């Protein structure tokens, strides 16, 4: 494509401004991805982009891209550089390649990027012209929209030519242009039945969570000294049904990556096996995803994740939030309704916690302080109490727990998405009737009890004096250690470095 470069606005003047925070509404697209409205160029051209805490590049498709020539980009937007008075760049190539073999390539350009009523001059983004192996293209789940990665700048994808890029990411640019005081943002995805959540740049909103808000250090991925992902230390998982609590995994130390670009939850196989047994999940040759009875959405039960040890934050995930019916008319052999479970296992030893987890959490990502603060989210609230993050600490954080100790090495790669994406859509000849019957869950389905539980509860949890590390996989997986995590809509992806 012939790229037309212009020198930018001729009379542009430096702007001294401070607004403190920027709030952007996030639309819930069928529980598959969370989307933000932005515009690029002068005059502005509108876009819908997926918000992604697991990657670091903003890219949108060109009006002349194969994505938009082969599909209709009218709803999500396509950029026509010839219509913008302020676009510059185009001398450097842009290329981002994911672990499922999908790839997006084009040019690295700069233009005015507008987020809400805040305009960022000379924001850099990838203008995608060509794509390969785009997942889900045959089922139309938003594959034409761009992605807005908001992780660390040093995790930006590499250029096709050259070993360095060195451009300022969008969050850093917000601070540079005095729109926010600190490179931090708070994510509130809201109830899965709600139409929208929000992301708040430069601030925190106590009206959106139940205290306490507890801080955790962002730690390097296992086997590395480099912080390149939103990675914290997971230490226990319990299951509560009625008044009975059972430990699924406790007093361990495992990496957990909080990634809004991942739809579901991906667990190590050992933990996933126990998890799925609780649901009585089954698989079927027609659909390569765990399937459960849709009636489980009525269960009075939840999973509780804890991070950072006994003093760290706990996040409770209702069973109903994990039982999703993305394929209408899906039934087990016995005629009962079947739903897809938003949890899957993989041959890894870290947790990839996507939207099925994040909808229950209020998460503050502090890029400057390399810290994440978490609390249980309040859902469907309409009040606000926005507080700007101005100093080195996050307002409202009651305590910051220390790092425990990560395993010495970990598998950080794998074709996780390949299995998920290929099995997400049924074969066109599949009539919706599965070859299996529903499995039996380990908990009772019924309305929530109003009687309450004894003060001490009924527990199956065993006490332990210290935290244990899972067995190391160093020898088998060190060859994969250079692969960094990113994501797209169907599940965890990996950026090939």
Active site residues: 52, 259
Question: Are the C-beta atoms of residues 401 and 309 closer than 8 Å to each other?
Answer: yes
CA dihedral 478, 480, 484, 487 (to 10 degrees): -140
Phi-psi region of 432 (alpha: psi -120 to 50; beta: other; left: phi over 0): left
d(CA 61, CA 68): 7
By the 10 Å C-beta count (0-12 exposed, 13-18 middle, 19+ buried), 419 is classed as middle
Cα-Cα-Cα-Cα torsion 392, 397, 398, 401, nearest 10 degrees, comes to -70
Tokens describing residue 201: 């740049």
**In DSSP terms, which residues pair with 6 in a beta bridge?**
none
Question: β-pairing, 338-341 with 323-324?
Answer: antiparallel
User: Which of 149, 205, 187, 152 has the alpha carbon at shortest distance from 389?
Assistant: 205
Instruction: Using alpha carbons, list the distances in angstroms from residue 202 to 17, 24, 370.
Output: 14, 12, 14
Are β-strands 287-293 and 338-341 bridged in parallel, bridged antiparallel, or unpaired? Answer: antiparallel
What is the C-alpha separation between 266 and 421, in angstroms, rounded? 13
Number of Cβ within 10 Å of residue 66's Cβ equals 15
Closest CA to 8 of 117, 128, 88, 66: 88
Distance of CA 357 to the CA centre of its chain: 9
Residues 6+ apart with CB under 8 A from 72: 144
């Amino acid at each position: 494509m012939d790229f037309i470069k212009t020198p930018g606005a001729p009379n542009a003047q430096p702007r001294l401004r401070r607004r403190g925070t920027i709030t952007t509404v996030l639309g819930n697209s069928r529980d598959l991805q969370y989307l933000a409205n932005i515009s690029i160029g002068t005059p502005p051209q509108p876009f819908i982009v997926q918000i992604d805490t697991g990657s670091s590049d903003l890219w949108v498709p060109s009006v002349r891209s194969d994505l938009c020539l082969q599909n209709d980009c009218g709803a999500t937007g396509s950029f026509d550089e010839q219509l913008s008075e302020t676009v510059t760049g185009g001398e450097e190539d842009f290329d981002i390649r994911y672990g499922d073999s999908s790839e997006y390539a084009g040019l690295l350009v700069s233009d005015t990027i507008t987020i809400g009523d805040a305009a960022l001059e000379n924001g850099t983004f990838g203008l995608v012209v060509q794509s390969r192996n785009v997942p889900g293209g045959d089922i139309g789940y938003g594959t034409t929209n761009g992605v807005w990665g908001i992780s660390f700048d040093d995790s930006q994808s590499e250029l096709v030519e050259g070993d360095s890029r060195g451009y300022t990411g969008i969050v850093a640019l917000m601070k540079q242009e005095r729109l926010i005081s600190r490179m931090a943002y708070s994510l509130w995805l809201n109830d899965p039945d709600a139409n929208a959540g929000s992301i708040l740049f430069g601030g925190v909103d106590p009206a959106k969570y139940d205290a306490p808000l507890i801080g955790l250090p962002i730690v390097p991925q296992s086997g590395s000294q480099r912080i390149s992902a939103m990675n914290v230390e997971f230490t226990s998982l319990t299951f509560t049904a009625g008044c009975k609590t059972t430990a699924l995994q406790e007093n361990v130390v495992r990496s957990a990556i909080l990634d809004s670009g991942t739809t579901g939850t991906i667990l190590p196989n050992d933990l996933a096996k126990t998890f799925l047994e609780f649901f009585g999940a089954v698989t079927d040759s027609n659909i390569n995803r765990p399937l459960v009875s849709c009636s489980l959405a009525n269960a009075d039960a939840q999973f509780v994740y804890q991070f950072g040890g006994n003093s760290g934050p706990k996040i409770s995930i209702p069973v109903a939030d994990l039982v999703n019916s993305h394929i209408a008319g899906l039934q087990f052999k016995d005629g009962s309704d079947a739903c897809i479970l938003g949890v899957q296992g993989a041959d890894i030893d870290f947790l990839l916690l996507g939207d099925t987890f994040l909808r229950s959490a209020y998460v503050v990502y502090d890029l400057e302080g390399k810290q994440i603060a978490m609390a249980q989210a309040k859902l469907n609230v309409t009040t606000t109490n926005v507080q700007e993050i101005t100093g080195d600490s996050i307002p409202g954080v009651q305590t910051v727990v220390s790092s425990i100790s990560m395993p010495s090495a970990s598998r950080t790669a794998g074709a996780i998405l390949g299995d998920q994406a290929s099995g997400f859509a049924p074969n066109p000849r599949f009539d919706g009737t599965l070859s299996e019957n529903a499995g039996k869950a380990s908990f009772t389905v019924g309305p929530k009890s109003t009687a309450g539980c004894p003060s001490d509860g009924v527990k199956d949890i065993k006490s332990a004096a210290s935290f244990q590390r899972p067995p190391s996989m160093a020898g088998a997986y060190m060859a994969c250690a250079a692969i960094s995590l990113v994501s797209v809509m169907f599940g965890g992806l990996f950026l090939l470095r």
